[in-house]
Amino acid sequence: MKKKIVVSIAAFLFALAAFAALAATPEPASPAPEPAGPAKPEKDPERLLAKVGGEEIREKDIDQVLKMMGPQSAVYDNEQGRKAILDEMVGVHLFALSGKEKGLDKTPDYELAVRSFSLQTLARLTIENTLKDITSKEEEAKKFYDENTNQFKKPDEIRARHILLNDDVTSADMIKLVQDELKKGVSFDLVAAVHSKDPTAAQAGGDLGFFSRGQMVPEFEEAAFALQEPGDVSAPVLSQFGWHIIKLEGKSPSSVTPYDEVKAQIIQYLTNEKEAEAYQGALESLKKTYTVEYSEPAPVK
């Protein structure tokens, strides 16, 4: 049975926030590209979806809630998800109507909440307006890449399997048994699956995948990186987890990630840096334009 999509309490609160910001929030300057595939049919933003006590809910109201959800919107931007959001928005209207009948819109709590949200919305819109034209060019990204190549360097990595044995009174016998089986030609992954105490053994024959220095305990790392050729097997190595017998599966020498693979990340990083600088500059300027008076004690700088 297909699971019914249920909008979370967080989405319910997004809906509440959306009603107060429907006319205030601008469309994003550069929406993320749609994934490849058939284009979604365009929806009429003014299409009426429901009326609750005379209040209208339109397609654009659903769009607003989705926009305020951020990355989570991808889960709900479909027919079933939009219907779930609509149902929540109907619930918001119903509770709001009930609250108005009870006079809750005249209470100090309501007035404080409205003032706080209004203040935050206006500040957010002003910040967005301040930062809207900030971007980074590809030549800036390439320059950063060329000047900071070390940041994009991949370290030496190896891929290894291991067999983990308990460090107890039976360890010597178990180590000999395992070594004898390996000498007889029994595959390392089969021996690991039968004898290893590591949870990875049963599922992947002791395969640990690729790893670099600093990711394993020192004793294990030293022995693993000392192996020279794929297929080499180490002598037993004792660590805090027990005895390890390690097999080298492969090596991946250090390399630098190509520029094209990190270009988008660099552009975003540089843009974020510029936005942070612009934000701080605008804030300092506003402090000189408007009077700010703190009550004692003064805030810690």
Predicted local distance difference test score (pLDDT) of residue 39:
52
Predicted local distance difference test score (pLDDT) of residue 224:
96
Residue 246 and residue 160 in contact, taking contact as beta carbons nearer than 8 Å: yes
Mean pLDDT within 260-283: 96
At 274, list the tokens.
Answer: 């510029």
Among 199, 203, 196, 161, which Cα is nearest to 178's?
Answer: 196
DSSP 212: E
Residues 126 and 26 in one domain: yes
Predicted local distance difference test score (pLDDT) of residue 22:
38
Looking at the DSSP bridge assignments, the partners of residue 238 are 243
Mean pLDDT within 223-243: 96
119 vs 125: CA distance, rounded Å = 10
Q: Is 245 helix (H, G, I), strand (E, B) or coil?
A: strand
Top pLDDT among 257 and 26 is at 257
Among the candidates 234, 253, 272, a domain finishes at: 253
Q: Is residue 273 part of a domain?
A: no
Q: Reply yes or no on whether the pLDDT at 207 is more than 80.
A: yes
Residues 235 and 182 in one domain: yes
At 98, list the tokens.
Answer: 């009930």
Q: Count of domains in the chain?
A: 2
Residues 99 and 184 in one domain: no
Residues 119 and 163 in one domain: no
Residues 104 and 21 in one domain: yes
Among the candidates 228, 253, 278, a domain finishes at: 253
Least confident of 63-77, 107-121, 167-181, 264-278: 63-77
Among 20, 16, 6, which Cα is nearest to 89's?
Answer: 16
Residues 19 and 86 in one domain: yes
281 vs 130: CA distance, rounded Å = 11
Q: Reply yes or no on whether the pLDDT at 260 is more than 50.
A: yes
Q: How confident is the model at residue 296 (pLDDT cuts 50, 70, 90)?
A: confident
Residues 226 and 116 in one domain: no
Mean pLDDT within 240-258: 94
Tens digit of pLDDT for each residue in 178-190? 999 999 999 999 9
Residues 13 and 108 in one domain: yes
- Tokens 């297909």, located at residue: 2
- Residues of the domain holding 170: 156-253
Q: What is the pTM of this model?
A: 0.57
Tens digit of pLDDT for each residue in 78-136? 999 999 999 999 999 999 999 999 999 999 999 999 999 999 999 999 999 999 999 99
Q: How confident is the model at residue 202 (pLDDT cuts 50, 70, 90)?
A: low
Looking at the DSSP bridge assignments, the partners of residue 154 are 255
Residues 56 and 113 in one domain: yes
Amino acid in the structure at residue 292:
V
Q: Is residue 78 part of a domain?
A: yes
Tens digit of pLDDT for each residue in 133-152? 999 999 999 999 999 999 99
Q: Is residue 286 part of a domain?
A: no
> The domain that contains 160 carries what CATH number?
3.10.50.40
At 161, list the tokens.
Answer: 């399997």
Q: Whole-number mean pLDDT of the chain? A: 86
Looking at the DSSP bridge assignments, the partners of residue 247 are 161, 233
Q: Reply yes or no on whether the pLDDT at 3 is more than 80.
A: no
Q: Is residue 269 part of a domain?
A: no
Residue ranges with strand state E in 126-275: 153-154, 157-165, 207-212, 237-239, 242-252, 255-256
267 vs 264: CA distance, rounded Å = 5
Among the candidates 131, 164, 182, a domain finishes at: 131
Among 90, 94, 66, 78, which Cα is nearest to 5's?
Answer: 78
Using CA atoms in the order 191, 193, 195, 199, what is the torsion angle rounded to 10 degrees? Answer: 140
State phi, psi for 211 to the nearest 5 degrees: -150, 155
At 262, list the tokens.
Answer: 């990190």
At 257, list the tokens.
Answer: 């990630």
19 vs 128: CA distance, rounded Å = 20
